[in-house]
Amino acid sequence: MYTVTGPFGNDIDIPESVEEDLLNFTLDDLPGAAKCLDVNGYVVVRRVLDPMFCQRVRRAFDAEVRRSPTPILRQKNMRYERNSISEDGFVENPIFNIQDLRSGEFEQFRTAVLDLLTHPAVRSIASALLASDEIKLIESMFFEAPAGTWAHQDSYYQDSARELGKCVAGWFALEDIDAGAGRFWVSPGSHRLMPVVRNSGENRFSDHHDHYKDEVLEIAHGLQLTCKAPFLAAGDILFWNSLTLHGSLSASRRGVSRASLTAHYLRRDDSMLQFHSRVRSQELTDYHGLPVAVLHDQAKWSNQLVREFGYRFPDLYMAARKLALKAVLSHSTASRSSLLHPRLEHLRQEGAHIGQGGLGGLAGVAGGDAPVGGE
Ligand SMILES: O=C(O)CCC(=O)C(=O)O
């Protein structure tokens, strides 16, 4: 075991091999995997994808993306940026929504990623975990350098409109992830133990994102939550629930990357609830029979214009974005009852969860985004 300081300030032991890990499943026992997700809020499914498949994504990234001058939308800040290279030579600004990339310029990369995220084995797991044969992919991200992503529940950014906690996400290891490469971590049982920290009032994303991050840590301390950062080999996938507290560690060894993808899935007849505020309509495209949601489709000239503007005038772009966010917020606050599933409306009226001001906290940006990010 390798020991580092975890997200809650205490030491955590990080397994360096699969032998040191416990909650492992394979494709042979998907009912067991679903039960494990239910109980623990996460599950690791081993050897889902041939490592050659993972290698294909990394090769395509090297060939098309690494040296590309094209600005790309980023997971951490929702800005259009060129690649930023870390001291260790890795791309350090993760990509948001690979399906949105322009197919001509990034054809191999986009295809390799979507082949993997819509692979029959992956679909069978996501179907088992969502208890439905009909599912869709609503979001994706690509990481290379350690990211040190803050502790959060995905629900704060996006969740199921049908019922909070009914969105599942997968963290796909594209290489054997070193213990010092900023492992992805989850807090076991936090989906049950922790309240839903609402995207509203003093935790509102538009103005109080930092307060939200602090509050989450405070709650984790109060509840004495623990954290696990499982070993993942190329082709393994860790799935988690949209209410499970998770994030990723900062790098603690030099020269190691953590090439990976994340993807978020919903039942096909469900919709994305964005920022606990509004149902975000998403255009669906078909990829090998699986609906895949696009949000900022770069094949459209209007989105290319937004990208150019966002890249050349980042401050203006972010200011406009913030205004749009507030406008959509007031609209969705006004009409939120009609947007929300009865169960969510019940929660709003009950006001039982953390965060003031009910579910009307914050709507998405006009033009839309809901990643782990968007400061
Ligand atoms: O791998 C990471 O750093 C964070 C991924 C994540 O939190 C997500 O996809 O929701």
> Percent helix, strand and coil across the chain, each rounded to 5?
35, 20, 45
What's the pLDDT score for residue 129? 98
Q: Using a 6 Å cutoff on CB, does residue 279 contact ligand 1?
A: no
Q: Which atom of ligand 1 is nearest to the CA of 260?
A: 1
Q: How confident is the model at residue 344 (pLDDT cuts 50, 70, 90)?
A: very low
Per-residue pLDDT for 336 more than 50? no
Q: What is the pLDDT of residues 2-13, one digit of tens each?
A: 898 999 988 999
Q: What is the CA(368)–ligand 1 centre distance, in A?
A: 19
Q: What is the CA(249)–ligand 1 centre distance, in A?
A: 10
Q: Please give the model's pTM, rounded to 2 decimal places.
A: 0.89
Per-residue pLDDT for 359 more than 60? no
For the chain, domain boundaries: 2-365
Which candidate, 252, 219, 325, places its Cα nearest to that of 11? Answer: 252
What's the pLDDT score for residue 147? 94
Per-residue pLDDT for 323 more than 90? no
Q: Using a 6 Å cutoff on CB, does residue 303 contact ligand 1?
A: no
Mean pLDDT of 259-270: 98
Per-residue pLDDT for 76 more than 90? no
Listed range (12-16, 84-88, 91-95, 321-325) with the worst mean pLDDT: 321-325
Query: Which superfamily does 2-365 belong to?
Result: q2cbj1_9rhob like domain (2.60.120.620)
- Cα separation values, 50 from 47, 53, 171, 358, Å: 7, 5, 15, 45
Q: Best mutation site among 75, 91, 142, 149 for ligand 1, i.e. most ligand atoms within 8 A of its Cβ?
A: 149
Q: Using a 6 Å cutoff on CB, does residue 173 contact ligand 1?
A: no
Q: What is the CA(164)–ligand 1 centre distance, in A?
A: 18
From the CA atom positions of the chain, what is the Rg in Å?
A: 19
Mean pLDDT of 263-271: 97
Those residues with Cβ within 8 angstroms of residue 142's Cβ, 6 or more apart along the chain or in another chain: 61, 94, 95, 98, 113, 260, 261
Percent of the chain with pLDDT over 70: 87
Q: Using a 6 Å cutoff on CB, does residue 143 contact ligand 1?
A: yes
What's the pLDDT score for residue 331? 62
Those residues with Cβ within 8 angstroms of residue 242's Cβ, 6 or more apart along the chain or in another chain: 153, 154, 155, 158, 159, 160, 164, 165, 166, 167, 168, 169, 264
What's the pLDDT score for residue 41? 97
Q: Using a 6 Å cutoff on CB, does residue 25 contact ligand 1?
A: no
